[in-house]
């Protein structure tokens, strides 16, 4: 009888130790998964890097195609003309702070152009080199700003402009054939 009580006590202690070890291991696994440098954060960072690289490469391929079409004599304006009707690209303007421009008013000899592609901001210089400008993350845009981009309108409206000039903005969207898709 005494032997049975001792073996139950040893079994109970072994069970408690096993539970403690499992709790410690689960804590370590959870920390590795969702911690500051965890697997989930690393995966999100990798997805961002892949998307950024894809956007950059797509733009470089388009520029190479334009160079081939122009027998190596392409200019920035040729790139702008090619991209102006492509809904995946939004021409911002000649300055880094530009938020939209009238493409027809651009000079033939512009020295640089800024554009959005997949919500990443790029600069193309006069030698048709592409540089990623916005590297700290995807540019956050409101739904209305995305519609404005689709309609090839300026996204420079502040929240106050959007509240006060909503009728003017709506009319501008309606005048654009792309805008009719959103109504």
Residue 144 structure tokens = 């209305």
> Residue 137 — pLDDT band, cuts 50, 70, 90?
very low
Per DSSP, what are the bridge partners of residue 165?
none
- Other Cβ atoms less than 10 A from the Cβ of 168: the count is 11
> Residue 136 — pLDDT band, cuts 50, 70, 90?
very low
Euclidean distance between CA atoms 72 and 86, whole angstroms: 22
Q: Do residues 68 and 116 make contact, with C-beta atoms less than 8 angstroms apart?
A: no
Euclidean distance between CA atoms 106 and 146, whole angstroms: 23
State which of 44-53, 96-105, 150-159 shows the largest mean pLDDT.
Answer: 44-53
Once rounded to an integer, what is the mean pLDDT over residues 87-104?
77
Once rounded to an integer, what is the mean pLDDT over residues 40-45?
84
Q: Do residues 36 and 45 make contact, with C-beta atoms less than 8 angstroms apart?
A: no
pLDDT on residue 46: 87
pLDDT greater than 80 at residue 21? yes
pLDDT greater than 90 at residue 120? no
pLDDT on residue 69: 92
pLDDT on residue 63: 92
């Amino acid at each position: 009888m005494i032997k049975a009580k001792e073996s139950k006590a040893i079994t109970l202690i072994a069970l408690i130790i096993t539970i403690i070890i499992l709790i410690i291991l689960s804590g370590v696994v959870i920390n590795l998964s969702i911690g500051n440098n965890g697997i989930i954060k690393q995966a999100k960072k990798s997805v961002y890097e892949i998307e950024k690289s894809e956007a950059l490469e797509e733009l470089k391929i388009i520029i190479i195609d334009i160079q081939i079409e122009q027998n190596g004599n392409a200019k920035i304006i040729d790139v702008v003309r090619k991209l102006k009707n492509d809904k995946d690209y939004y021409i911002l303007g000649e300055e880094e702070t530009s938020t939209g421009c009238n493409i027809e008013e651009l000079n033939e000899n512009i020295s640089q152009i800024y554009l959005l592609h997949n919500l990443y901001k790029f600069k193309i210089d006069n030698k048709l080199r592409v540089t990623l400008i916005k590297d700290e993350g995807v540019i956050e845009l409101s739904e209305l700003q995305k519609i404005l981009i689709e309609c090839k309108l300026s996204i420079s409206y502040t929240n106050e402009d959007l509240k006060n000039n909503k009728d003017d903005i709506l009319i501008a969207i309606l005048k654009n054939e792309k805008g009719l898709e959103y109504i």
